[in-house]
A and B are shown apart, each in its own frame.
Chain A
Amino acid sequence: MYFKKSMRNTAIPYLFIIPSAILIAAIDLYPIISGIIDSFLNINLFINRPIKFIGFENFINLFKDRLFGIAFYKSIIWTITILAGEMIIGFFIAWLLNRDIKGRKFFRLMVLIPWVIPNAIAGIIWKWIYAEQYGLLNYSLSKLGIISNYKSWLGSSNIAFWAILTVALWKAIPFVVLVILAAMQSISKDQYEAAEVDGANEIQKFFHITLPSIKNITIIVAILTSIWNFNQFEIIQVTTRGGPGTATLTMPIFSYELFLQSFQVSYASSAATIMLIIMIVPMYIYIKNVMAEK
């Protein structure tokens, strides 16, 4: 909905845009670019030395770095598992909520709760639940007879990874439910009724009507949440800080360690730049789909 041609004037739109454009250039684009430039330098705050351009040395070192390999691998497993989990569970809950039921609002509200808790706080709550001695989880499971001995949930690398992943999943599902449910509700009832006349069952209806109608929004939500999950820092930082061992060492935690715990600014920047490169393709697909949605 644009003004008619006569109402337009070439300079006016820019006047509206400029404050925001200048601000975004200054606080978003400039830092991003300077971060990329930093990754080709040799800044290390714990070493007094002249700053100079060292080409791809940081990147070459990263690819030789065992920890980087681990962080990369963990991040990929982390992101893909959460994506699969949030999609399957999210779709299932959305589908349940989309049925003809009473109290939908109430159930929906309950499911949305994890979404509104700040990430860092969610981490703290779960850390307390996972606590070995006074934690709720050990107590409940042993009361129910599922475990006979208190487990150290964050104390072994296998369990810790999945335990923290569960927290992230718990935080991620509600958003998927919210969006998918809204999309499902916008599908017209007629299509379903027509299918019912043809004798289609629930599963057929889901795959032949629901899924195709919300394909675009599904792709958007999948990519968006994956980008978020890939960058998940808060939950891991407040619970395990990447440990025990390297159990939860994902790329954001790894970059943070390089940056704020060992102050290798340039090396950390190059790790962050690689994260950016990994996200280019998903971002491209995301933008394409968002533009198409309009």
Chain B
Amino acid sequence: MSRPSDLALKTLNSQLSEVEQLIADKQTLMDGEPRSFAYELSLTSLLSLKYQLLKEKQDLLGELGYEELDVRLHGDTVATGMAAIKTVSLVLTTIQTLISEIAQAVGKGIGSRGKLTNEVLDTTQLRLHQIYEGPVGFKLLSPKHQLELYPQNDTMHESLVILFDLLDASDNPDVILRYAKEIGSRTFNTLIEFVDTLKENDLELTLHWQSFYKKQRQWAGTKTRLTELSEALSEIEELEVSQEELDGLILEASAIKGTFKFNISETGEIIAGTFNEAIREQIADVYDKRPIKGYFEKTVLRAMKSQKTRTFWVLQHLE
């Protein structure tokens, strides 16, 4: 006979699967009607329910959660089931640096210089949990932490989402352009170094991520993909950086994501971007109410091969 907690766990798991399916269904509906308030409100409710069920599960298991990252190395240099310590440490250290730098850029704004903060190091420091034999590999765990209502507020989780998005983006300059500005040049260069390290050491690498939030992603860094990624990353160039003063109305603003949509009065054009933390309260006061004068930093990046460009707007202050 099963224990009551087994039954409770089984019930919770089944409810979690159902709510995840409902969230996926809702997101599909939203793709066809992105501005539907009914979908947005309903999705928020479902996400709250998912969080509640995950929290109940966590309480039942009496555990905090963590992100699991499996790193497997392949190639002639590790074919005997052994790997040089220097190579292993270089690969693992670069993965750690990448995740921490992305976390710092996501949480604290882009900084091409400056030390990683203690807060970022504490929340992103990976631990070696297990070593695999043939192919050589490692299971790494994030620090244990509480669930966040919205996974995008979880720095470690969000950093891994961005890392995997970038690794998967060798044939998608749009994604690389989008993140190039968000994560900043320092992190971007670390990613290029990471790819180069693997290539120089004649290694291929598989990354598998199992998230605390039940998400799984895998990336197979074969030689072909590493070459493609290296080329895709190296061809991003900065076309223009300028300061702009624009009159208009803030149409949408998300305090959680720090994003906005702004309708320029003169041209009717709608631009989207991020705003500085310091003006969060001001935005809440004026959003959808009255026209403002906004002071923006405009950056245009271009992928040289495809000639695709992307413009980034940062609302720095407003009147």
A and B from one assembly? no
